[in-house]
Structure 1
Amino acid sequence: MAKLTTGSIVDILGAIIADELGRLRMGDEQLWKGRQWHPSSHVVFASKASGDPHEVVVDSFEWMSIASRVVEFFQLNSSGLEDYLLRFSTLEQWAEVIETSREDGRLDITFCSSGSTAQVTHHRHHWMALVAEAQFFIDFMHRHDVDIKRVVSFVPPHHIYGFIFSILLPELLQIPVLRGLKALSTTQAQQLQSGDLLIGFPAVFEQCAQLDTAFPRGVHAVCSTGPCAPQVLKALTDNGLSRVFEVYGCTETGGVGIRNSHDEPYQLLPRWIKQGNDELMDNVSRQVIELPDSLKWHAPGLFEPVKRKDDTLSICGKSVHPETIARVIKQHPNISDARVRLIHEQESRALKALLIADPDSRSGQTETLIAQVRTWLADKLEPHELPKRFTVRETVPTNELGKEIDWESQPDLMRR
């Protein structure tokens, strides 16, 4: 059975710290994402800082926020060892506390997700289910003649996708892992090797295709967190990538399906039992989960996602379609892109809109542009369809997995 080594725990702790400080210190996100973490990296208050390059200087609120994330992720509160984080500062020492907790059987892991809304949800996953899933993916790829010698991951290990493929999978196979900037620089410098397995998401592979990245023979990839365009997958294989495995799932479920060709349906993982068209039952816990997408079933155990279910909302007792409203907004001559979401404040049932303005329109007053769009929409939308709040930005904000996040929230997970 896979066991979390000290090195893996340190990598996870570094990812959690980077994510939390990137969330709290708006504008410093890229700095924290690119940082290299070591067992000797330590979290200290400003009053105790010595200028050591391995120090992470925080205030009391940031420390509590980081510690809370660590406690929740590793279930330290169930072991009573969470207070020991107060006594130590290095990641190696924190890893020892976590290892002690896990020796007492506290093995489950909690992941957080919020998707494109501001609603953060917490999902606890049983350790044995996570290990079984990683082993299934290993066996699946072995059946397709993939010999994995090294994992090269662009996905942070505190995400469930990154955890399964860049923590558990290499622990089970006892192979090395490259992460973050090392993974990126190795790929861009075309220093990948036969037997490398790339763990990424659509935005990363789109960049590889745009840069015309060449791949040596015997390099494979896994893509998840969203659909990857067929033309991108073709460009990658034309440039030498042997195969791209696509994984379908979410933070709540973990992996649900996998396929090795974009024109084939997904194969349902053995953990799940079909319950109706869009519901699955965990064959161990017997919990029934409703999927966020409508599925089309081709045969027992073979499916493909058709569309998201959350496109229809109820406002004032009437159905509205945010994507349809966004398409109307994009018809405005000064708007290049738009997003429409539900306002979640105080159970509000009103809409908000993100406006991506054309470059020539950004030089003017934001308030003027919003007023123009609001007036323009009044003749094109029903009163209950009109967004109550507008925001103007240069680009649609995304998280480190390339997923869109709520433009009014601080970065969250799917950042988490």
Structure 2
Amino acid sequence: MSMLGRTFISRCLFSLIAAKLDGSDRGQGHFGPLANMGLDTPLRADEANSALNIDSLKLMSLAMDVSTLFQIPDSGLEDYLLRGQTIGDWVDVVMESRNSGAQALAFTSSGSTGEPVTYRHEWIDLLDEVRDLAPEFAAHLGQSIARVVVCVPTHHIYGFLFGIVLPAVLDLPVLDRPQAMLTAHSGRFSDGDLIVGFPWFWRALAQAGTQFSESCIGLSSTGPLDADITPRLKAKGLKAMIEIHGSSETAGIGYRSHSSDPYTLMNRWRVGPDKARLARNRDLSDTVLLPDRFDWVDPRRYQLRGRLDQAIQVAGYNVYPDRIAMQIARHPDIDQAYVRLMRPGEGDRLKAYVVPSDEDLPPAEVKKRLVKWCRASLTTAQMPAVITVGSALPMNSLGKPADW
């Protein structure tokens, strides 16, 4: 039986429902739905004072998301979700499902490199990860963790591990969004805080000059943290920053406390003989491909050398969106670029989102110059069929590239 009580399951459901209602899985999102949600919130639009205000089709979609996240079909109780009248009823179904044997969870990737993919994780693996890292966090703090300040969505695997599982295992108080974001904005951290953030969040605090209590540590994941960010945060009082490397498929793989150091492989993993796979120590036959390019220092430490090439097919040709984005970003009028495959309803070609280096240059002129350059520099399969111009790249609630 898991140790996830009603409060922890509720927080995860609130995060999932708010993200789906607000669309924050495709953008930065706001916290309106999250702030107005409670266990007694009615699920149906015809109920008075419902904060959800959704129709039956949206309700069914949400129920499927909840069922997938908590792997409720393992218990055979998935039909009970649509009988629920309030969010609290859904929490009851999840708890009963877990008590009836549905212990696994499934998390969906951000879709930053293509269509989102859902990966199943066994509960014991998630427990092993937080139990492995908890002593590391306490060692950097110089004391026991006093509180977890969660500034990330808890329905994604990173937020779930350190915003749900960790405080459940250690019986810790939690400050969750949106209150956690308000605390971060005002710098009202306390001694013993473990602050769970992501690169975009940490960059924003560094730029704002946020002051920290002397005994706070930060946690960052979901993408690389710029090398200058941690020193700037430490200059304002942050005691340590621990970077977690992983993916939706693997959960955490390694960690480090200095940007120049190699990552240390988590205890639950072992590198395979071909150094292209990882095996779980509890079952060496259970292996996964490395999600990135690893440069192994020794069997327990590695440096990251970038993502593995994400080739996709366009008109029968292999193309590499990340490489194309790097080429486009070299154009003198372009500051940043992001390239991805169109969604099925949009077409079967690439599309690009670009941020011009000169904000005063009209978008139409940016497109005109870029199209001319693309025709001369890219193959037909590589050339984006649609170019969108904006002031900033679209990001999801974890600071990863989002679709548009």
How is 1:19-30 mapped onto 2 (pairs within 5 angstroms)? 19-23=19-23, 29-30=29-30
Change (3 A) 1:257 1:58: same
Partner of 1:18: 18
Asked whether 1:109 is paired with 2:105, we answer yes
Q: 1:360 corresponds to which letter in structure 2?
A: D
Cα-to-partner distance string for 1:364-412 (whole Å, 9 max, x where unaligned) = 6x4x6434422233223344433333233332100011111233xxxxx
Q: CA deviation at 1:32?
A: 4.3
Partner of 1:222: 219
Partner of 1:241: 238
User: Following the alignment from structure 1 to structure 2, what is the Cα–Cα distance between the partners of residues 383 and 44?
Assistant: 48
Change (3 A) 1:80 1:200: same
Aligned with 2:30: secondary structure?
Answer: helix
Residue 92 (structure 1) aligned to one of 88, 93, 108? 88
Asked whether 1:176 is paired with 2:154, we answer no
Q: 1:329 corresponds to which letter in structure 2?
A: I
Change (3 A) 1:161 1:28: closer
User: Following the alignment from structure 2 to structure 1, what is the Cα–Cα distance between the partners of residues 75 and 43?
Assistant: 22
User: Following the alignment from structure 1 to structure 2, what is the Cα–Cα distance between the partners of residues 24 and 43?
Assistant: 19
Uncovered stretches (5+) of structure 2, i.e. residues with no partner: none
User: Following the alignment from structure 2 to structure 1, what is the Cα–Cα distance between the partners of residues 314 and 44?
Assistant: 48
Asked whether 1:63 is paired with 2:59, we answer yes
Larger deviation: 64-73 or 179-188? 179-188
Change (3 A) 1:283 1:33: farther
Residue 76 (structure 1) aligned to one of 67, 72, 76? 72
Q: CA deviation at 1:228?
A: 0.8
Asked whether 1:374 is paired with 2:374, we answer no
Partner of 1:6: 6
Partner of 1:156: 153
Partner of 1:296: 295
What TM-score comes out, normalization by structure 2 length?
0.90
User: Following the alignment from structure 1 to structure 2, what is the Cα–Cα distance between the partners of residues 261 and 26?
Assistant: 31
User: Following the alignment from structure 1 to structure 2, what is the Cα–Cα distance between the partners of residues 136 and 326?
Assistant: 37
User: Following the alignment from structure 1 to structure 2, what is the Cα–Cα distance between the partners of residues 339 and 96?
Assistant: 42
CA contact (8 A) 1:115 1:405 kept: yes
Partner of 1:412: none
Q: CA deviation at 1:262?
A: 1.8
What TM-score comes out, normalization by structure 1 length?
0.88
Larger deviation: 292-301 or 74-83? 74-83
CA contact (8 A) 2:24 2:30 kept: no
Q: CA deviation at 1:84?
A: 1.9
Larger deviation: 229-238 or 111-120? 111-120
Partner of 1:414: none
Q: 1:241 corresponds to which letter in structure 2?
A: L
Aligned with 1:68: secondary structure?
Answer: helix
Cα-to-partner distance string for 1:305-359 (whole Å, 9 max, x where unaligned) = 111112556667766554443344334454332222344649x874332222343
Change (3 A) 1:309 1:74: same
How large is the RMSD of aligned CA atoms in angstroms?
2.7
How is 1:112-127 mapped onto 2 (pairs within 5 angstroms)? 112-127=108-123
Partner of 2:306: 307
User: Following the alignment from structure 2 to structure 1, what is the Cα–Cα distance between the partners of residues 136 and 27?
Assistant: 41
Aligned with 1:56: secondary structure?
Answer: coil
CA contact (8 A) 1:2 1:172 kept: no
CA contact (8 A) 1:117 1:405 kept: no
How is 1:236-385 mapped onto 2 (pairs within 5 angstroms)? 236-275=233-272, 276-285=274-283, 286-310=285-309, 320-343=319-342, 345=344, 350-357=349-356, 358-362=358-362, 366=364, 369-385=366-382
User: Following the alignment from structure 1 to structure 2, what is the Cα–Cα distance between the partners of residues 135 and 122?
Assistant: 24
User: Following the alignment from structure 1 to structure 2, what is the Cα–Cα distance between the partners of residues 269 and 370?
Assistant: 46
CA contact (8 A) 1:314 1:349 kept: no
Change (3 A) 1:26 1:114: closer
Alignment: residue pair count: 400
Aligned with 2:35: secondary structure?
Answer: coil
Change (3 A) 1:230 1:117: closer
Asked whether 1:141 is paired with 2:140, we answer no
Aligned with 1:356: secondary structure?
Answer: strand
Cα-to-partner distance string for 1:180-212 (whole Å, 9 max, x where unaligned) = 121111222232111110000011111111111
How is 1:199-214 mapped onto 2 (pairs within 5 angstroms)? 199-214=196-211
Q: CA deviation at 1:263?
A: 2.0
CA contact (8 A) 1:21 1:32 kept: no
Change (3 A) 1:342 1:188: closer
Larger deviation: 311-320 or 112-121? 311-320
Aligned with 1:404: secondary structure?
Answer: coil
User: Following the alignment from structure 2 to structure 1, what is the Cα–Cα distance between the partners of residues 26 and 227?
Assistant: 35
Aligned with 2:178: secondary structure?
Answer: helix
Q: CA deviation at 1:6?
A: 0.6
Aligned with 1:42: secondary structure?
Answer: coil
User: Following the alignment from structure 2 to structure 1, what is the Cα–Cα distance between the partners of residues 146 and 31?
Assistant: 30
CA contact (8 A) 1:268 1:302 kept: yes
Q: 1:120 corresponds to which letter in structure 2?
A: P
